Structure 1
Amino acid sequence: MRLWQLVEPESLPGLSGEGTKKHGGRWNSPGRPAVYCASSLALAALEVFVNLPRDKRREGKVPEQKAVEYDLPDDLCRMSGFPGTMSEEETRPLGDAWLEAKECLALSVPSNVVPLEANVVLNPDHPDMDKVTVLRVEPFSFDPRLLDD
């Protein structure tokens, strides 16, 4: 399975989960590390873009990003079966329980940005985390037409 993530250079390779441990995410509460990846580079870009504060959506203000492609053995990922319309108040406890159980390395969840597509959450505390392979790291920038003047 190929996965994508946009990562700020100082956080490469992007597999620690420290950022979401500090602030939490859709599928994890603060204090619990998780790594959020997307099923495509385009979805990874959308996920980052919608979470950028408006003042960062300007030419010269967008944080530098690297596109990172990972390989994950298919048998280490489980489909969540959760609907894409769940609130963060509903998804965080489910994700926290999944992280705590360590039953599988990766959980495929619906994207909140594009509910018909999938994001994959990795558990950096899972013993199989070393089976995630970085395939490539490339510079990434958003098309200036997406940015505010």
Structure 2
Amino acid sequence: MIAALPATVYRVTRAAFAGTVEDALSGAGGLYDDGRWHRRGSHILYTSESTTLSMYERLVHADELFSERRTDRVMLAIALPRVSTMVLTEAEVAAGDPHWRCEGSLFCRAFGDRWLVSRASCALIVPSAADPNAANILLNPEHTEYRQIVAANCAMVSQDLEPDPRLAPMVQAHRRAAGA
């Protein structure tokens, strides 16, 4: 896992939410849904250290990714200036919750919520639940340094993120198991 903030991070989002740089980086999605590292009601931006990890993280929501809206996704490359950063290692997370990779870890959500409210740093590097050897970078839009990120370059990398069709059987099995 990385120990320092990368110069560029990546995010998959709906095209409708990426109309402007301000929209793309607003973190408003955190107001409406819980995430691994926060409870709904907070501005937060989830990013990844690579395009591959960004796509892999989206597979958590594979049924949505393979839906009829699949071409509504874009990959954003976000250039990060030097901002205050905290690092949470996989060992630290596992010490707080050995089952942290399971959906709905109270430890992860509580840690993220405390981090957001404290504004201890603008960025928080956390292990990916999909690949604990890789990292996601959480960004706090309420932090005073965040405006530096908003002012930085944000480029659309891909406009059509249709997943590999070989993954479709996995999604169908998931839907059957979920009773959809």
TM-score by length of 1: 0.87
Whichever of the two has the greater Rg, that structure is 2
Native 8 Å contact 1:102 1:126 kept in 2: yes
Native 8 Å contact 1:68 1:134 kept in 2: no
33 and 75 in structure 1: CA distance in 2 versus 1, 3 angstrom threshold: closer
Which of 54, 66, 69 aligns to 1:57? It is 66
- Superposed, which structure 2 residues align to 1:1-149 within 5 Å? 1-12=7-18, 13=21, 14-52=24-62, 54=63, 56-57=65-66, 60-62=68-70, 64-81=72-89, 82-83=92-93, 85-86=99-100, 88-132=105-149, 133-138=152-157, 139-141=159-161, 142-148=163-169
Aligned residue-pair number: 147
CA distance in 1, matches of 2:160, 2:122: 27
Native 8 Å contact 2:83 2:145 kept in 1: no
62 and 123 in structure 1: CA distance in 2 versus 1, 3 angstrom threshold: same
Counterpart amino acid of 1:93? A
Could you tell me how far 1:75 is from its partner in structure 2? Answer: 4.2
3-state SS, counterpart of residue 132 of structure 2: coil
Gaps of 5+ in 1: none
CA distance in 1, matches of 2:44, 2:17: 14
Please tell me the root mean square deviation across aligned C-alpha atoms, in Å. Answer: 2.0
CA distance in 1, matches of 2:139, 2:64: 29
Could you tell me how far 1:125 is from its partner in structure 2? Answer: 0.8
CA distance in 2, matches of 1:137, 1:56: 18
3-state SS, counterpart of residue 68 of structure 1: strand
> 78-87 or 6-15, which moves further after superposition?
78-87
Gaps of 5+ in 2: 1-6, 173-180
CA distance in 1, matches of 2:168, 2:69: 10
Give per-residue Cα distances to partners, 1:30-82, cap 9 Å, x unaligned.
11121100000000001112223x36525x45251111001112443221233
TM-score by length of 2: 0.73
